[in-house]
Structure 1
Amino acid sequence: MRIFTTILDTVAQRLMSEPARHDPAALSRIRRAMIDLMPNDAGWEDERLRHRLLVAVDPKSLWFLRVDLHQRLCRSMGEEAALDSVQSLWPLFEDSIEPSLLGKRPGRRGGPRGDTPPAR
């Protein structure tokens, strides 16, 4: 049943994503950074997440997979360390997805809002 779900995830992601222009090098950098954060466990859930990262067709898809990556990392390293790891991906997304996803609104004064990483 799980293999069927994985296949359906892959097919649905390919069908639902609209063709958009993006930098393939940026996509590759983001994907590699996310996969590098994954623990080296060979469990089914880890392999499924790794597969989803590998078949993501654009940076926006990878942006939404950060939640799944964070949940996985929480189990292995704790919530605070997992959050720091996922937030370290932030700069890779800045030029690859819409500013609204990053919590930035054009024409607004002040700092970014929403899902922004804490200042260090």
Structure 2
Amino acid sequence: MRIFSTILDTVTQRLMSEPVRHDPAALSRIRRAMIDLMPKDANWEDERLRHRLLVAVDPTSLWFLRVELHQRLGRSVGEEVALESVQALWPLFEDSIEPALLGKRPGRRSNNQRGDTPPGR
């Protein structure tokens, strides 16, 4: 009986939740900016990352792919430049993903920044 209740709850939640809609233009801008950061000397790892960027279905997926992009850039241009490049993408995500992912929470003080928040914010 407990399993039936759990399944019923899951189905009900999915039916009642509204589908999330993403702005295709914003998704395209973010994707293009991330691909433009990729090194021009492409190897198979770069092509794999480029493919993952191209098939990402929403801005949240691209947000989490920033980590891989940062790691790849760190190997080719150095850690500091890679960090600055990836942080420069931050404004593109502001209206496209949940504020909590950006480190913005209600009641949060402005001087208490997260490490992934660009300097001066």
- TM category (shorter chain) comes to 0.7 to 0.9
Output the CA distance in 1 between the equivalents of 2:110 and 2:41.
42
Q: Percent identity?
A: 83
Q: Which runs of 5+ in 1 are unaligned?
A: 1-18
Q: Which residue of 2 aligns with 1:109?
A: 109
Amino acid at match of 2:21: R
What do residues 54-88 of structure 1 show as CA deviations (whole Å, max 9, x unaligned)? 00000000000000000000011000000000000
Q: Which runs of 5+ in 2 are unaligned?
A: 1-18
Aligned pairs for 1:1-120 (under 5 A) are 20-111=20-111, 113-114=113-114, 115-119=116-120
Give TM-score, length-normalised by structure 1. 0.80
Q: Which residue of 1 aligns with 2:3?
A: none
Output the CA distance in 1 between the equivalents of 2:20 and 2:58.
8
What SS class does the counterpart of residue 53 from structure 2 fall into?
helix
Output the CA distance in 1 between the equivalents of 2:109 and 2:42.
46
* Conservation of the 8 A alpha-carbon contact between 1:103 and 1:116: yes
Amino acid at match of 2:78: G
Root-mean-square deviation (CA), in Å?
A: 1.5
Number of equivalent positions = 102
Deviation at 1:40, TM superposition (A): 1.1
* Conservation of the 8 A alpha-carbon contact between 1:103 and 1:112: no
Amino acid at match of 1:96: S
